[in-house]
């Protein structure tokens, strides 16, 4: 079984008509990347399931404004994602994005999403301007445990001093996982550090300490410096370095589709590992490509 640990569906992102500095090479600037297209890409690549993460422009508003755009430039969201899930039953596990948990209405929104079949939550502490162990987030984690749901954390775009730094986020995460050892957590983008740097030690120290935390490898460190050079040598180097630091059993294969689709065709994302990751044996590849994600998601079957 092959499971992609990070995908999205987009109607449009940074539409070329209102963002002329963007390139048509980035397909999502001018055409839809729908659930139908994602399912077809999965079919031709032999991918069985994916974690499908929904967020709208207001969930990532800080990032959009940091690059000179606004929420209206990101045309997608929960309703659009749920329509894709309904059209392809059995293929996608849905993760909704957490809005400010200090507002009771947003906590009720989490409960509603769980009741509607969400497998868990995607949480951006830096966009919420909250520490990872802030009491408001601790209450959300406890809600996830109550519903037996999963957490996807991303420490991307940390902007100290307004937010914690990435190392500080990991200190906070250590406290979260110590207090809530049954919470299942996926860290996106290799923990938002580049595995080719010494910062990897910050990730390894926490991940190796706690059994219920896994690391997704989509756009590790939020870097892609291979261009279209298949089988992506720098990506392979990062995978190998991450494996040495945390072991293959904590690694989840992911693509962040469609954000890298202008560099990497979806079948290439799978075959780069299946055919070219020589630092893994076949059992390790099976674990990385799907077995570990299956352990992370566990019995959350109602969400597919």
Strand-pairing partners, residue 51, are: 93
Please return the burial class of 198, using the count of CB atoms within 10 Å of its CB with bins 0-12, 13-18 and 19+: exposed
> By the 8 A CB rule, do 191 and 215 touch?
yes
pLDDT per position as a tens digit, 199-233 = 999 999 999 999 999 999 999 999 999 999 999 99
Crossing angle of helices 166-179 and 200-207, rounded to 10°: 0
Could you tell me which of 62, 289, 302, 256 has the C-alpha nearest to residue 152? 256
Token pair in block for residue 100: 């400010």
CA distance readout (Å), 15 to 8, 22, 32, 62, 209: 17, 8, 10, 18, 43
**Does residue 2 register a pLDDT over 70?**
yes
Q: What is the pTM of this model?
A: 0.96
The pLDDT of residue 303: 47
Residue reference for tokens 């601790």: 138
Instruction: Provide the β-strand partners of residue 122.
Output: 97, 152
pLDDT at 304 over 90: no
Domain ranges of the chain: 3-297
CATH 3.10.20.30 fits 3-297, yes or no: no
pLDDT tens-digit series, residues 116-168: 999 999 999 999 999 999 999 999 999 999 999 999 999 999 999 999 999 99
**Distance, CA of 107 to chain centre:** 21
116/94 Cα distance (integer angstroms): 10
| Confidence band of 259 (pLDDT split at 50, 70, 90) | very high
- Reported confidence tier of residue 301, pLDDT bands at 50, 70, 90: low
Separation of first and last alpha carbons in the chain? 15
Q: Are 234 and 272 in contact (CB under 8 A)?
A: no
Question: SS3 of 2, please?
Answer: coil
The pLDDT of residue 123 is: 98
Taking 3-state DSSP, the helix, strand and coil percentages for the chain, each rounded to the nearest 5, stand at 45, 15, 40
- Reported as a single tens digit per residue, the pLDDT across 91-119 is 999 999 999 999 999 999 999 999 999 99
- Specify the residue for token string 């059993």: 249
pLDDT digits (tens, 9 = 90+) for 3-25: 999 999 999 999 999 999 999 99
What pLDDT is stored for residue 207 in this prediction? Answer: 98
Question: What Cα–Cα distance (Å) separates residue 227 from each residue in 24, 122, 233, 263, 274?
Answer: 16, 28, 10, 6, 20
SS (H, E, C) 202-271: HHHHHHCCCCCEEEECCCHHHCCCCCCCCCCHHHHHHHHHHHHHHCHHHEECCCCECCCCCCCCHHHHHH
Q: What is the model's pLDDT at position 198? A: 97
pLDDT band at 302 (very low <50, low <70, confident <90, very high): low
pLDDT digits 0-9 by tens, 31-76:
999 999 999 999 999 999 999 999 999 999 999 999 999 999 999 9
In angstroms, the CA 214 to CA 226 distance is: 24
The answer to whether 239 and 278 have CB atoms below 8 angstroms apart is: no
């Amino acid at each position: 079984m092959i499971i992609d640990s990070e995908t999205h569906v987009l109607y449009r992102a940074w539409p070329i008509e209102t963002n002329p500095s963007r390139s048509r090479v980035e397909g999502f600037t001018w055409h839809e990347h729908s659930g139908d297209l994602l399912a077809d890409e999965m079919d031709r690549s032999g991918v069985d399931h994916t974690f499908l993460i929904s967020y709208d422009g207001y969930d990532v508003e800080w990032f959009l404004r940091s690059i000179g755009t606004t929420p209206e430039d990101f045309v997608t969201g929960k309703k659009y994602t749920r329509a894709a899930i309904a059209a392809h039953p059995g293929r996608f596990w849905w993760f909704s994005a957490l809005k400010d948990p200090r507002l009771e209405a947003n906590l009720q929104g989490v409960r509603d999403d769980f009741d509607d079949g969400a497998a868990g939550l995607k949480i951006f502490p830096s966009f919420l301007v909250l520490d990872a162990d802030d009491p408001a987030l601790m209450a959300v984690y406890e809600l996830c445990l109550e519903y037996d749901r999963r957490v996807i954390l991303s420490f991307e775009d940390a902007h100290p001093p307004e937010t914690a730094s990435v190392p500080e986020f990991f200190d906070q995460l250590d406290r979260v996982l110590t207090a809530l050892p049954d919470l299942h957590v996926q860290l996106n983008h290799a923990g938002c550090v580049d595995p080719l740097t010494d910062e990897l030690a910050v990730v390894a120290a926490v991940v190796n300490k706690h059994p219920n935390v896994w690391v997704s490898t989509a756009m590790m460190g939020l870097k892609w410096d291979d261009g279209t050079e298949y089988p992506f040598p720098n990506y392979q180097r990062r995978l190998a370095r991450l494996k040495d630091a945390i072991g293959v059993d904590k690694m989840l294969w992911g693509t962040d589709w469609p954000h890298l689709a202008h560099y990497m065709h979806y079948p290439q994302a799978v075959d780069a590992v299946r055919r070219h990751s020589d630092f893994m044996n076949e059992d390790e590849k099976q674990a990385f490509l799907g077995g570990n994600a299956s352990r992370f998601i566990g019995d959350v079957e109602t969400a597919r």
